[in-house]
Amino acid sequence: MNFIKNKIVTIFGGTGSFGKAFLNRAIKLPFKEIRVFSRDEKKQDDLRLLLKNPKIKFVIGDVRDSESVLEVTKNTDYAFHAAALKQVPSCEFYPLEAVKTNILGTSNIISCCIENKVKKVVCLSTDKAVYPVNAMGMTKALMEKIAISKSRNTSNTETKICITRYGNVLFSRGSVLPRFINQIIHKEQITITNPFMTRFLMTLDEAIDLVLFAIESGENGQIIIPKTSATTIDILSKALLSIYNQSPSKIKIIGTRHGEKLHETLMTSEEQILSTSFKKYFSINTDNRELNYDLYFNKGEKKLINQEDYTSLNTVQLNLQQTIKLIKPLINGFENI
């Protein structure tokens, strides 16, 4: 990581789950300055008192406000865009708010980074952006499209733009695990939607490794996707019950909620045609065709789509013991059991 020595990094949405985890890693790296940009002064103050590190600078602002984004990106070398409305129900009830933050906020960040000649911007996306069925996924899908569109226009500038797309991060904000643990602690039934539902599993450390890989190796316009494992909601809940020595009879099936999928997709079969496989990641190369409508509508390609989508059903599936092994160390950090 010598390339980041004495460099300034700005984390948009830096008081969220990813931002806090990244800060713990970043203060050990040779950054000159780490700027935390968010609109939550309470969370900023909590982090300031907790970390007490002079390298960290806390900046109050909103990605919806281009002036505050332009100011914080001055002299910034690298930027991570983790600011978003991420709760599916919130975005369903207030879709226009999701548009303002997830779509227009992304445009503000990238445009200001280009104006201030930031070296690279990494935008964090989600599996819900693939075949989206809810407002959160739809706005994240358009976030990706904006980032890729702007990357085409920055091919001759100093700023490079890439995207990381990943699934559920264990113990992040909105993760189901804290809710399950709270139900177990209070001797309540664990409420699961569909026992056959599968979800990708990723730790916060793995998410940080992914974005650091993107900041170092990501090419302009690329989407970088981790090769990750998955399990069923049934196994996940039973793993927690086993760790807490509780009876499996405490599981209650409530049915699939509005806006949920049975299985999540990280990469479509169409995207796989453009992808390159590495040891830990896939990278989807951007479509860099010029702005010529004939290339999109009047001329086809001979590539055959014969791959499957990359989903939480056809990736490596963890059994009960493997799931316990994965989440138990994280629980010990989350709560003393």
Would you please indicate which residues are annotated as catalytic (active-site) residues? 128
Assign 3-state DSSP to the chain and report helix, strand, coil percentages, each to 5: 40, 20, 40
CB 271, CB 171: distance < 8 Å? no
H-helix or E-strand spanning residue 136: helix 135-153
| Distance from C-alpha of 80 to C-alpha of 96, rounded to nearest angstrom | 23
DSSP assignment, residue 63?
Answer: T
| Distance from C-alpha of 125 to C-alpha of 272, rounded to nearest angstrom | 17
In the structure, how many helices (H) and strands (E) does the chain have? Answer: 13, 15
| Distance from C-alpha of 273 to C-alpha of 276, rounded to nearest angstrom | 9
CA distances from 23 to 2, 27, 56, 259, 329 (A): 18, 6, 8, 32, 20
H-helix or E-strand spanning residue 234: helix 233-243
Q: Which of 151, 170, 169, 153 is nearest to 161 (CA)?
A: 151
Contacts with 185 (C-beta within 8 Å, 6 or more apart), sequence order: 335
The residue count for the chain: 337
What backbone phi and psi angles, to 5 degrees, belong to 82?
-115, 10
CB 232, CB 253: distance < 8 Å? no
CB 236, CB 194: distance < 8 Å? no
Q: Which of 193, 198, 296 is nearest to 251 (CA)?
A: 193
